[in-house]
Chains A and B, each alone.
Chain A
Amino acid sequence: MSQNITTHTDKKLPLQGAGGADHAALADIFNKDEDRVNWHDETLWWIRAKRDLSVHKIPEWEALRDTASAIKNNVLSNLNSYLQQFEANAQANGIVIHWAADGAEHNAIVHSLIKKHNVTRMVKSKSMLTEELHLNEYLAENGIDVIDSDLGERIVQLAKEPPSHIVLPCIHKKKEEIGELFHQFLGTPAGNADPQFLTETARHHLRETFLSRKVALTGVNFAIAETGEFVVCTNEGNADMGAHLSDIHIASMGIEKIIPERKHLGVFLRLLTRSATGQPITTYSSHFSKPRDGQEMHIIIVDNGRTVQLGREDFRNSLKCIRCGACMNTCPVYRRSGGHSYHNAISGPIGAILAPNLDMEKYADLPFASTLCGSCSNVCPVKIDIHDQLYKWRQVIVQNGYAPTAKKLSMQAMATTLASPFAYHMAGKAGRLVMKYAPFALNNKLNPWYKQRDMPKPPDESFGEWYKKNRKAP
Chain B
Amino acid sequence: MTVGLFIPCYVDQFYPGAAIATLQLLEKLGVNVVYPANQTCCGQPMANSGFEHLTGGCNELFIKNFAEFDYIVAPSGSCVLHIKHHIHDEKQPEKAASVSHKIYELTSFLTDVLKVTSLPAKFPHKVGMHQSCHGQRGLHLSQMTELVAPYYSKPGSLLNMVEGIELIELNRADECCGFGGTFCVAEEAVSVKMGKDRVADHLKHGAEYITGVDMSCLMHMEGILNRQGSKVKILHIAEILNGGPLNP
Contact = CB atoms under 8 A, between A and B. Distances in A.
B61 interface: yes
A449 interface: yes
Contacts of A30: 189
Q: Is the interface of A mostly helix, strand, loop or mixed?
A: helix
Contacts of B93: none
Interface in A381-411: 391, 394-395, 397-399, 403, 407-408, 411
A262 interface: no
Contact of A373 (B176, B195, B224): B176
A185 interface: no
Interface string A24-45: 1001101100100100010001
Nearest to A52: B145
Contact of B185 (A337, A370, A449): A449
A104 to B, nearest CB: 32
A147 to B, nearest CB: 35
Interface stretch (B49-57, B113-121, B161-169): B49-57
Given A424-B9, A438-B182, A372 B57 contact: no
A434 B61 contact: no
Interface stretch (B36-44, B101-109, B205-213): B36-44
Q: Give the size category of B's interface with A.
A: 35 or more
Contact of B188 (A432, A434, A452, A467): A452
A378 B46 contact: no
Contacts of B144: 375, 378
Given A332-B194, A336-B193, A449 B184 contact: yes
Given A52-B145, A52-B146, A439-B45, A369 B187 contact: yes
B1 interface: no
Nearest to B13: A432
A115 to B, nearest CB: 46
Given A439-B182, A453-B192, A458 B13 contact: yes
A27 B190 contact: yes
A336 B190 contact: yes
B139 to A, nearest CB: 11
Interface string A317-339: 00000000000001011001100
Contact of B7 (A398, A442, A463): A463
B193 A418 contact: no
B57 A414 contact: no
B146 A375 contact: yes
A466 B189 contact: no
Nearest to A42: B197
B19 interface: yes
A59 B192 contact: no
Contacts of B180: 370-373
A462 B16 contact: yes
A280 interface: no
Contacts of A463: 7, 11-12, 16, 19-20, 35
A62 B37 CA distance: 45
A416 interface: yes
Contacts of A455: 223
A237 interface: no
Given A336-B194, A420-B57, A378 B20 contact: no
Q: Which 4 A-B pairs have the closest CB atoms?
A: A419-B57, A371-B180, A453-B223, A398-B50
16 contacts: A24-B190, A58-B148, A337-B190, A371-B191, A374-B138, A395-B50, A395-B52, A419-B60, A420-B61, A421-B39, A439-B181, A454-B223, A458-B14, A459-B15, A459-B16, A474-B35
Interface of B: 7, 9-17, 19-20, 23, 34-41, 43, 45-58, 60-61, 133-134, 137-138, 144-149, 172, 174-176, 178-197, 219-220, 222-224, 226-227
